[in-house]
Amino acid sequence: MPLNFQVNKQNLILSKLNYNDEILIYGGTMVDVKELFQSTQKLLQQEVEKVNLYKLQVEEKDNELKRKNSEIVGLNNEISYSKNILNSMSDTILMLKMSTENWRKELKNKQEDYLTLERNFELLNTHKRIQETKIQEKEKKLSELDKLIKQREKIIQNQSTDIQMKEALLKIKNRNLIISLTIGALAILTGIFLLWSIKTKQKYNKLLEQKVEDRTRELQRSERNYREIFNGVSEYIFIHDDQGKIIDVNDPMLEAFGYSKEEILLMDIGKLSDEEKGYTNEKAAEMFEIAKKPDNMFLIGKLNGK
């Protein structure tokens, strides 16, 4: 785009023009020479870019024209091929026209055959309808048979269930019979053993009494160790059964919360607070296991705080 401007000083010498001199662009806007130069350079750059873009577009159009020319060449070849086909088809049409009369003559001869085929077709349709009716009857019978089969399967399933129940009852009866026979055999063996025991009672009476005394002393020693651990630890410990019924507690728990032994035995776990619960059966069982070993006196003393 051309730029029209005029200097606002009529006697301005071009060689002395500097950036501070003002010029007037056509249209009345006052600008600096530097600004005019920059804007002009920017416009020139834009024009260069437009020219480059136009060149690219021209190249694209040129390539597109080349493609179109190649397509036109292909179309011309196809047109030539189609013309050849049309020429051959024209010859064929002439031949067909010549043979049309022959076809008409043959058509008259074929009409009778067609009527015969039509009658045969009607006969086939009649036979088809008869067969379809038979098929429907067979399908109906098959449906009834399916129902009967399902009923029989249900009966067989019920019979199978009954058989399984009877087998289970037979197994139970056999097991009971085996148990009865075993009990009878054990009773016989027990009777024999009792007779033998009665005969040998005097011989082993003293030995048994000695073993009972030793076992009693061992149990008493284990009970003392158990109670010593149970009441000697500072933690609150209680023992309960599977239903949550409390069956025993240690002395620190009774002293800390002011319960009597009788009151505790009437309570269950649900009535105790989290603070009162202390150790559960599992933890207490680990601690009391050492009471069964009289030689672990060091561990017993450690639990008692000694």
- Angstrom distance (rounded) from CA 47 to CA 49: 5
Of 50, 73, 96, the residue at which a domain comes to its end is 73
Type of residue at 103: W
**225: closest CA among 287, 279, 294?**
294
Q: Tokens at residue 54, please?
A: 């136009």
| Contact in structure between 239 and 281 (CB atoms under 8 Å) | yes
Asked if residue 68 is part of any domain, the answer here is yes
Interstrand relation of 29-32 and 238-240 (parallel, antiparallel or unpaired): unpaired
Q: Report the SS3 class of residue 273.
A: coil
**Would you give per-residue pLDDT tens digits along the chain (306 residues)?**
444 444 444 444 444 444 444 444 444 455 556 676 777 788 888 888 888 888 888 888 888 888 888 888 888 888 888 888 877 777 777 777 777 777 777 777 777 777 787 888 788 888 888 888 888 888 888 888 888 888 877 887 877 777 778 777 777 777 777 777 777 777 787 777 777 767 766 666 677 777 777 777 777 776 666 666 666 655 556 666 666 676 677 666 666 666 677 776 776 666 665 555 554 445 545 544 444 444 444 344 434 443
Asked if residue 294 is part of any domain, the answer here is yes
- Angstrom distance (rounded) from CA 276 to CA 257: 8
Asked if residue 202 is part of any domain, the answer here is no
Asked if residue 65 is part of any domain, the answer here is yes
- Angstrom distance (rounded) from CA 246 to CA 264: 7
Q: Quickly list H helices, 233-289.
A: 251-257, 261-265, 274-277, 281-288
Asked if residue 17 is part of any domain, the answer here is yes
- Angstrom distance (rounded) from CA 77 to CA 149: 74
Of 56, 73, 90, the residue at which a domain comes to its end is 73
Q: Tokens at residue 205, please?
A: 């009476």
Asked if residue 248 is part of any domain, the answer here is yes
Q: Which domain holds residue 44?
A: 5-73
Of 36, 55, 73, the residue at which a domain comes to its end is 73
What beta strand segments (E) does 196-293 contain? 238-240, 246-249
Number of domains observed in the structure of the chain: 2
| Contact in structure between 233 and 251 (CB atoms under 8 Å) | no
Neighbours of 236 (CB within 10 A): 20
Asked if residue 108 is part of any domain, the answer here is no
| Contact in structure between 268 and 240 (CB atoms under 8 Å) | yes
Asked if residue 98 is part of any domain, the answer here is no
C-alpha angle with apex 123: 122 to 129, nearest 5 degrees?
90
